[in-house]
Amino acid sequence: MAAALLTVAAMGSLATGCGSGGDASADGGARTPGQSRTPAPGPGHASADSVGSLLAVKIDNVGPARPQTGLDAADIVYAEQVEGGLSRLMAIYATRFPKAIGPVRSARESDLELLRQFDEPTLAFSGAQHKLLSVIDKAPLRPAPPEQNAAAYYRGTAKPAPHNLYLRPARLLRSAPGAAALTTGFRFGAAPAGGSPLTSRTVRFPAARFTFSWSASAHRWLVSMDGTPTVTTDGKRVAPATVVVQYVKLVKSKYHDVLGNNTPFTQTVGSGTAKVLRDGRVFDAEWKRPAATDGTEFTTNDGAPMNFASGQVWVVFAQA
């Protein structure tokens, strides 16, 4: 683990419609009504005094929410399936914070299990299924919704609500904690032997799809979502160095959205298979996460460590 974290340090870097859900305007956008002052955070909630906490942000990923802001600065981007077969992103920031991130949207039960691998992370989100809110408050993390951290959020002017809520990380946390906070179990280093040449890979959800196309000149995987190239609001193409297609079990949770659609629960504890994309090649891999407090170990089929390429990592949770 220590070797993996040192390598990371060298990188250089529930319901849909719940709450007051997230678009950055050129001047930072207008404040959400009632944001003239910051209320004192409640017990367990993040504040501007929080130090050393990794930041996780739930990011809207439907068409009206794009292009997103700050996605290129994340160390890790998790893509999960939500109600109706749509997708939602959770971006993890440890080595640097961008000026703004968003649009920020609602949390899911799956996020809580996934975040257990980190030491008291801060979770920025806007709303959740009503019965889940108390579960979030009791989870071993720092909830940071706009209701308790109003000065850290603003409404942009380029998109309609709820796709226009943005976070200013510097108003929530003093500084990025650094790579040591990334206790994911990921290892970085030289590629293993083998693998097969790959130019493009598409992962499909029932109502969403992700395509990763290899760029030899950039030495990165260019992301497209639902057939459209993924760029940020400042025109940067989102291009991770490593893409993990992690095959997991999706089961029905006890939560539903406002339309009655069941919220799928993504099981990230356990074991299974994966495809790891790096350096223009795809590698067959296996993953193992014995407990929620553990990171996820990836190995090749012969049991050797599956190293990732230095840079941003995308993990797409595909149904096994």
Render pLDDT for 268-295 as a digit per residue (tens, 0 to 9).
Answer: 999 999 999 999 999 999 999 999 999 9
Residue 238 has pLDDT above 70, yes or no: yes
Query: DSSP string covering the chain, please?
Result: -HHHHHHHHTT----TT-TT-----TT--BPPTT-SSPPPP-TT---TTB-S--EEEEE--SGGGPSBBSGGG-SEEEEEE-GGG-EEEEEEESS---S-BB-B----HHHHHHHTTSSS-EEE-S---HHHHHHHHHSSSEE--TTT-GGGEEE-SSS-TTTTEEE-GGGTBSS---GGG--S---BSSPPS--EE-SEEEEEETTEEEEEEEETTTTEEEEEETTEE-BBTTSPBP--SEEEEEEEEEEEEEEE-TTSPEEEEEE-SEEEEEEEEETTEEEEEEEEE-STTS--EEEETTS-B-PBPSS-EEEEEEE-
Q: Are 115 and 270 in contact (CB under 8 A)?
A: no
Residues 51-60 have a mean pLDDT of 87
Average pLDDT of the segment spanning 99-124: 96
Q: Which CATH architecture describes the domain 12-31+49-181?
A: 3-Layer(bba) Sandwich (3.50)
State CA 262 to chain mean position distance: 21
pLDDT reading at 202 higher than 50? yes
Q: Kindly tell me if the per-residue pLDDT of 15 is higher than 50.
A: no
- Mean pLDDT for the chain? 86
- The pTM assigned to this predicted structure is 0.84
Out of 110-124, 129-143, 196-210, 265-279, which region has the weakest mean confidence (pLDDT)?
A: 129-143
